[in-house]
Amino acid sequence: MTEERAGAVTVRVLRLGNGDAPLPAYASDGAAGADLRAALPAPLTLRPGERSLVPTGLAFEIPDGYEMQIRPRSGLAARHGMTVLNTPGTVDSDYRGEVKVLLVNLGAEAVTIGDGDRIAQAVVAPVVRARFLPAVELSDTTRGGGGFGSTGRR
């Protein structure tokens, strides 16, 4: 649907191989993620517990200061237990290789992915880069070193 919104960031996309892989597309006007499709020469079946790096047939030029996150589709996860193992996958702005989706079948049954199936969604997001400075001490806080459930269960 509409990708022509004001303020949209331009991301150049190279279609690899025979060049017919569809570009990522937003499925609704307010969608945060653009769906990514599998680019497969033949259907791929993942048995329970199996994972696979699924090609998209696409390479991206993400502007400096942004990243692209690869996230699962909730429908695939809810229906089949199929998710993105490294979610959110990070596509760096300087990466020029093919973007791939690391699918894993956490369900109890085999799932078959076909060419052109929507397998994940891409969220382009701004990135803040840090300047990491060595320190000899850190500021005091109430939390201090408490973590991992230190504030209680309920």
Size of the site for ligand DUT (CB under 6 A): 10
Q: Select from 33, 72, 89, 107 the one that contacts ligand DUT (CB under 6 A).
A: 89
CB contact set of 36 (below 8 Å; sequence gap of 6+): 24, 56, 58, 70, 99, 101, 118, 119, 120, 121, 122
Q: Select from 55, 57, 100, 121 the one that contacts ligand DUT (CB under 6 A).
A: 100
Place of tokens 């993400």: 62
Helices marked H in 23-133: 74-80
Structure-block tokens of residue 3: 């990708």
Position 82 contacts ligand DUT (CB under 6 A): no
73 labeled part of a ligand binding site: yes
- Touching ligand DUT, residues 107-126 (CB under 6 A): none
Nearest to 36 by CA among 128, 99, 109, 127: 99
Considering beta carbons, is residue 76 or 143 the nearer one to ligand DUT?
A: 76
- Touching ligand DUT, residues 51-70 (CB under 6 A): 70
Summarize as ranges the residues that interact with ligand DUT (CB under 6 A). 70, 86, 89-92, 95, 99-100, 102
